[in-house]
């Protein structure tokens, strides 16, 4: 009986051991996903595995996306990756849009917004839409886009789907330079620096203006946005500029004396007697006051009437013929001493009572009766008197003279006389050493376009 019990125990023990050896190993599930789903997918070597085994997972990216890492029950960015199965697991592959650089360059003065810094590269994810706005600096204007986008649309939207380079070009603002003329003359414009386009000047351009009087006129001044008495000025263009060039009838000699001028027929005349002390080249004309020296002079000389300078402003100076005809030219640039022929043309143009038409009216300067005086020509002859070869002064208030450059012989030359008691314009010739006023006439009035003033 005892032996039967022992055998039964052994049989039961063997049955228990067998049942334990045939119990199954745990099997675990692995679930995977892609985030976002359109970015890619995940493949895995198996969907389940026994406890302790590994499953290989691989992240697969679609175009323009990049794998950035794993989340859930697995971390890191290794791809492919091995997942150890010790329980059911869920792993997600994370994707990001691929990043591309956007380079914005500016030419000129301005910036590009928004959040885009000029000349700096900023990365944007694929498919990002960036709005670019060109913002010019003051006195500059936006001129257009170039590079990976062209046109004038501002702002515009740019889709980032590859490396992009955008150039924003800015140009200087254009301004008007309006020059008007008062009187008779013209203005030359010379661009010294900057840009001229479609008749307008770019911001910060420098323009030189040269005022040029026409025959019988002199430049007076600039008025408007710039004020100056210099006939040549330089203007900085930083706004719309309006400027007026003022010319007045007249001429200036080398000493800076201003003379009214008048056009009679086709001739331009000075309407005042000459007052200069120098020839055109700057050489001085001697002032000879001593009578004996005056008589002996064979070169150009001048004197005040009665050697008194108070008469200069009204009557001018008295010159001998040598001064009137010196080849250094006593008259202003563009003018000369009239010839006898010039004076004949003047007389013929005026006709009857030519002298009266040349004389100032009234008795402030002329002795009564100042016959025939109308001054309708505007010549404004004044009775300056004269100086003889002996140095004597006479006939102020009674007689006006006008030297000519034409000699009648070696000792004498032609001139014209206007008398207080006559309306005639008298032709005469007398000694070259006499002192007479000079009225200059413009040179070649037909061809002269510009008289340079000193």
The rounded distance, in Å, linking the Cα atoms of 397 and 306 is 13
Burial readout 68-101 (b: 16 or more C-beta within 10 A, e: otherwise): ebbebbbeeeeeebebebeeebebbbbbebbebe
- In angstroms, rounded to a whole number, what is the distance separating the alpha carbons of residues 22 and 164? 66
Is 405:324 a contact under the CB 8 Å cutoff?
A: yes
Mean pLDDT of 239-266: 95
Q: What tokens does 282 get?
A: 């700057």
Assign 436 to helix, strand or coil.
strand
Name every residue whose Cβ is closer than 8 Å to that of residue 275 and which is 6 or more positions away in sequence: 253, 255, 257, 312, 313, 316, 317
Question: What pLDDT, in 10s, does the model give residues 91-149?
Answer: 999 988 767 778 889 999 998 873 332 334 566 667 778 888 898 999 999 999 999 99
Characterise 344 by phi-psi region: left (phi > 0), alpha (psi -120 to 50), beta (else). alpha
**What does the pLDDT look like over 260-295, one tens digit per residue?**
999 999 999 999 999 999 999 999 999 999 999 999
List Cβ neighbours of 235 (8 Å cut-off, separation of 6 or more): 177, 206, 207, 208, 209, 226, 241, 243
Region of 199 on the Ramachandran plot (φ > 0 left; ψ -120 to 50 alpha; else beta): left
Q: Tell the residue number behind the tokens 């004020």, with chain if given.
A: 227
Give pLDDT tens digits for 372-430.
999 999 999 999 999 999 999 999 999 999 999 999 999 999 999 999 999 999 999 99
Record: fold of 99-172: Immunoglobulin-like (2.60.40)
Q: Coil, strand, or helix at residue 230? A: coil
Give residue 113's pLDDT. 74
Domain extent listing, the chain: 29-97, 99-172, 187-249, 258-442
């Amino acid at each position: 009986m005892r032996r039967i019990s022992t055998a039964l125990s052994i049989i039961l023990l063997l049955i228990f051991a067998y049942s334990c050896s045939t119990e199954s190993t745990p099997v675990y599930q692995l679930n995977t996903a892609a985030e976002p789903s359109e970015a890619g997918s995940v493949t895995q070597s198996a969907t389940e595995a026994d406890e302790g085994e590994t499953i290989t997972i691989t992240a697969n990216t679609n175009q323009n996306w990049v794998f950035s890492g794993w989340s859930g029950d697995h971390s890191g960015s290794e791809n492919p990756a091995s997942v150890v199965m010790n329980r059911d697991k869920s792993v997600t592959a994370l994707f990001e849009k691929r990043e591309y650089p956007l380079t914005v360059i500016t030419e000129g003065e301005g910036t590009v917004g928004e959040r885009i810094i000029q000349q700096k590269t900023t990365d944007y994810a694929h498919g990002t839409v960036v709005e670019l706005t060109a913002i010019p600096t003051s006195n500059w204007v936006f001129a257009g886009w170039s590079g990976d986008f062209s046109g004038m649309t501002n702002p515009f939207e740019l889709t980032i789907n590859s490396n992009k380079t955008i150039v924003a070009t800015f140009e200087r603002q254009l301004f008007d330079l309006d020059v008007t003329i008062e009187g008779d003359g013209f203005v030359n414009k010379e661009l010294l620096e900057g840009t001229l386009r479609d008749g307008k000047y770019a911001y910060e351009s420098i323009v030189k203006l040269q005022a040029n009087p026409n025959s019988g006129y002199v430049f007076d001044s600039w008025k408007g946005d710039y004020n100056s008495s210099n006939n040549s000025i330089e203007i900085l263009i930083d706004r719309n500029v309006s400027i007026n060039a003022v010319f007045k009838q007249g001429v200036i000699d080398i000493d800076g004396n201003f003379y009214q001028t008048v056009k009679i027929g086709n001739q331009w005349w000075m309407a005042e007697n000459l007052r200069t002390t120098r020839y055109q080249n700057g050489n001085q004309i001697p002032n000879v006051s001593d009578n004996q020296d005056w008589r002996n002079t064979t070169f150009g000389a001048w004197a005040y009437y009665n050697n008194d300078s108070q008469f200069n402003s009204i009557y001018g100076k008295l010159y001998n013929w040598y001064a009137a005809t010196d080849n250094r030219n006593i008259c202003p640039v563009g003018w000369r001493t009239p010839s006898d022929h010039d004076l004949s043309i003047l007389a013929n143009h005026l006709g009857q009572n030519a002298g009266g038409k040349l004389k100032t009216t009234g008795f402030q300067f002329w002795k009564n009766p100042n016959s025939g005086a109308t001054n309708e020509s505007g010549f404004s002859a004044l009775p300056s008197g004269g100086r003889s070869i002996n140095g004597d002064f006479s006939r102020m208030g009674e007689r006006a003279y006008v030297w000519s450059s034409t000699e009648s012989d070696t000792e004498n030359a032609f001139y014209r006389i206007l008398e207080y008691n006559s309306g005639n314009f008298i032709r005469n010739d007398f000694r070259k050493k006499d002192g007479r006023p000079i009225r200059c006439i413009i040179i070649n009035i037909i061809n002269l376009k510009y008289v340079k003033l000193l």
